[in-house]
Amino acid sequence: MITAASIALVAAAALWLGAAAVGTLAERAAGLRAVTTVSALGGVAAVAGGTLTAIHETHATRTIGSANLVGAVTLRLDPLAAVFIALLGLIAIAIGLYAPRYHHPSRGTAWYLPVYNLALLASLGVLVAGNATFFLVAWESMTVFSYLVILRHHRREGVARAAFLFLALGEAGFVLIVAAFAIFAAHTGTLDLGLMAARSHTLSSGWRAGIFVLALLGFGFKAGLVPFHVWLPEAHPAAPADGSAFLSGLVIALGVFGISLFAFELLPGGPAWWGLLTLGLGALSAVVGVLYALMENDLKRFLAYSSIENIGIVLTALGAAMVFGAYHHPELEAFLLIAGLYQLVNHGVYKTLLFLETGVVEHTTGTREMNALGGLIHRLPATAVITLVGTLGIAALPPLNGFVSEWLIFQGLFQGFRIGNDLIGILIVIAGASLALTAGLAVMAFARGFGIPFLGMPRSRGAAHASERGQPIAGPGLLAASCVALGIGAPLVLTVLDRVAHATTGTDIKAHLLVPNLTVIPAHTGFSGFSPTYLAVYLVCIGIVPLLIYLAGRPRAASRTVPVWDGGILSFNARMQYTATTYANPIRVTFDEFYRPEFHVERASDDPAGRSGPVHYRFRVMPIFQRFLYAPLVRAVEWCADFVRPIQSGDVNLYLLYIFICVIIAYLIYPY
């Protein structure tokens, strides 16, 4: 069925493929601009296609090749995937506007851009896949191309290792995803996703549970769920800024797409414990993510942990949706699905913005280390304003988008009392409390993440001499405008997401979501209500009255301007300020049992008379998951490998003996 949406998506795919094909032109400046423009246009097409599909609630499939053949490709248009397609498009547009000024035309860029566009294409493939094989091929391509994206600066120290970690954990997840699809396909007798969904109720509950857990863990590797998240803080700093933005904005969103695909479309109507498991892992990821984020001084690692936190919040919402669905509250299920998707889209927007701006900061000051930055609001004013909008969004301050989606999630969780079961109610309350802790710590983390680099005085020469000339503004600016639009225009966004939820779960809660005067209510009237649009108008209005009073009552006498009163000290220097480490110190002290940091102090001598020399202080948070989960696993695998190594002795005679023994065994068992 040819619809405008499908034309748009085909156009997007073609544009990205085209951009990849001519990517070698990027060795020259004009070619670089051309390739990135084509990529951005592909993004426009994707946004159009995704939004149209979501609004019209299109469900369509198209098979290329015979339906029963393994190599057949089935494409489908689905409203749930459409939300992700629109997000993909928006990120592609922003990165397309940003890339020409961030990358220099060179041979490295000439191979990087085709790979990046192929990664976009593969992501689109994952989102339009209609049968299991195509999905898996697209997924694996997306992983491989993202791996190559991370390897852009492969000669730099640590990049290859980070990319390898990404690939290794991606493959571990892939194994589980393949297992899930394989079992599902074997028991339903088809590879087509639509037919699998239709026949899923014929499976026994044990098999369904197994498939769901495999899918949750497998996609959890990609989504950055704790404890599968260890690749995120390594891979994001290693990739170039727009690569990190793509990874964080979209690739981990695809992990969430996979989980929601299985939870809401392929295996709908699961028991409550699926939702509780997702909820639990989500809440854990949220808290762990933000706690580690507060201890990070590298801007990109900090943002990576913050992504883990946000994905945790999204999965908490989706898990709670599943729980409400299992207890027959379809309106709350739809509501929390809407809230979770909204939070995911918002995360895609502001996290991409923050990563792009981190790239600008890194290029202009030469460092990502928060303790070496400072005062950038004076040197990089436009960047500072855009980053501030993104920071306010991610810290969930009204009336921006983060506030709306987090408010929706909290309102959904607060209605856990509507489920009769007390234990489930308590668990949902605990999840809500964890999210509240996360939200508070996130505000502190982002006050630190914006305040230390941008405010105050520069703490290093690089920060003191930064200049904004020639830096990209349009791409991040577009995302900042989107943050504001997604916040103030929440009623519009919720209308679209409601169509998606209706298409996915069959429940339309428009009447219980938006009362006509632009106010949002959480699925039940009389519980609470809030209007981001009115709030934005109100905030503007309350600014007008003081302004008028000031203009009317301004003193007419001459006034004397003097510097800020600083206590009369002779001069400020940058070393008198807070550092990033000390700002987060109260949290470090409170959660000392969780961080178990290692301190290392060196001084010239311990004798009081000799204490006039410099003191070196090093502080490291204990990496719990790497030390207690992954390192033992790796050691176990290595031990097994050592154990079987003697088989591969290199001695040809031994190998001939193996062949001989196998032939004998084959002869002995063949008749049977």
Partner 1 sequence: MTEEQRLAARLQERALALFRRSLHIRTFDSGSCAVCESEIRLLSSPYYDLHRLGFFFTPAPRHADLLLVSGPAVRAAEPALLKTLEAIPEPRIVVAVGACALGTIFTEDELVHGSVDAVIPVDVYIPGCPPSPLALLHGLLVAVGRLEEKVQSLRFDLREELPA
Q: Which positions from 509 to 548 touch partner 1 by CB under 8 A, shown as an x/- string?
A: ----------------------------------------
CA distance 446 to 387: 11
Contact between 569 and partner 1 per CB under 8 A: yes
Q: Which H, E and C letters describe 25-41, residue by residue?
A: HHHCHHHHHHHHHHHHH
The CB-of-567 to partner 1 minimum distance in angstroms stands at 8
Among 155, 560, 575, 645, binds partner 1 (CB under 8 A): 560
**69 φ/ψ angles, rounded to the nearest 5 degrees:** -80, 145
The answer to whether residue 565 forms part of the interface with partner 1 (CB under 8 A) is yes
Q: Which helix (H) or strand (E) holds 627?
A: none
Please tell me the count of residues contacting partner 1 according to CB under 8 A. 8
Q: How far is the CB of 566 from partner 1 (least distance, A)?
A: 8
Round to whole Å and give the CA distance between 419 and 425. 7
Q: Is 558 in the site for partner 1 (CB under 8 A)?
A: no
- The nearer residue to partner 1, 564 or 652, going by C-beta atoms, is 564
CA gap 110, 112 in Å, rounded: 6
Residues 579-618, mask of contacts with partner 1 (x by CB under 8 A): ----------------------------------------
CB of 576 to partner 1, least distance (A): 16
d(CA 12, CA 46): 5
Report the nearest approach of partner 1 to the CB of residue 451 (Å).
Answer: 24
**Which distant-in-sequence residues (6+ apart) come within 8 Å of 532 by Cβ?**
398, 399, 403, 404, 487, 488, 490, 491, 520
Q: 616: exposed, middle or buried (C-beta count within 10 Å: 0-12, 13-18, 19+)?
A: exposed
Distance of CA 466 to the CA centre of its chain: 29
* Minimum distance, C-beta of residue 565 to partner 1, in the bound complex (Å): 5
Interface segment toward partner 1; rule CB under 8 A; list 30-38, 367-375, 462-470, 567-575: 567-575
Per the listing, tokens 């669905």 go with 325
Q: Minimum Å distance from CB 555 to partner 1?
A: 12
Q: By CB under 8 A, tell whether 568 contacts partner 1.
A: yes
Stretch that binds partner 1, among 25-33, 179-187, 555-563, 583-591 (CB under 8 A): 555-563
Nearest approach, Cβ of 550 to partner 1 (angstroms)? 19
> What residues have CB less than 8 Å from 452, skipping those under 6 apart?
370, 371, 373, 374, 578, 579, 580, 583
Window 261 to 290, contacts with partner 1 (CB under 8 A): none
Residue 561 makes contact with partner 1 by CB under 8 A: no
CB of 558 to partner 1, least distance (A): 11
- Residue 532, preceding bond cis, omega within 30 degrees? no
Rank residues 186 and 570 by Cβ distance to partner 1 and give the closer one. Answer: 570
Stretch that binds partner 1, among 153-161, 414-422, 561-569, 581-589 (CB under 8 A): 561-569
Nearest to partner 1 of 420, 568 (CB atom): 568
In one letter, which amino acid is 149? Answer: V
Among the residue ranges 13-21, 250-258, 348-356, 556-564, the one whose residues contact partner 1 (CB under 8 A): 556-564
Cβ proximity to partner 1: between 568 and 650 the closer is 568
- In angstroms, the CA 386 to CA 392 distance is 10
> Least distance (Å) from partner 1 to the CB of residue 570?
6
| DSSP letters spanning 440-500 | HHHHHHHHHHHHHHHSS--SSHHHHT---TT---HHHHHHHHHHHHHHHTHHHHHHHHHHH
Closest CB to partner 1 among residues 554, 560: 560
Structure tokens at 564: 């800020």
Question: What b-and-e string marks burial along 487-519, b requiring 16 or more CB atoms within 10 Å of the CB?
Answer: bbbbbebbebbbbbbbbbbebbbeebbbeeebe
Report, in Å, the least distance between residue 573 CB and partner 1.
16
Is 544 or 570 the residue whose CB approaches partner 1 more closely?
A: 570
Contact present, 260 and 311 (Cβ < 8 Å): no
Q: Which is nearer to partner 1, 68 or 573 (CB)?
A: 573
176's tokens: 């589980």
Query: Strand, coil or helix: what is 602?
Result: strand
Specify whether the CB–CB gap between 305 and 621 falls below 8 A.
no
Q: Which is nearer to partner 1, 565 or 599 (CB)?
A: 565
Residues 105-124 that bind partner 1 (CB under 8 A): none
- Tell me the C-alpha distance between 35 and 114, whole Å: 9
Q: How far is the CB of 272 from partner 1 (least distance, A)?
A: 60
Restricted to residues 66-85, the positions that interact with partner 1 (CB under 8 A) are none
Minimum CB distance to partner 1, residue 147 (Å) = 59
Residue at token pair 């032939």: 663
Contact positions vs partner 1 (CB under 8 A): 560, 562-563, 565-566, 568-570
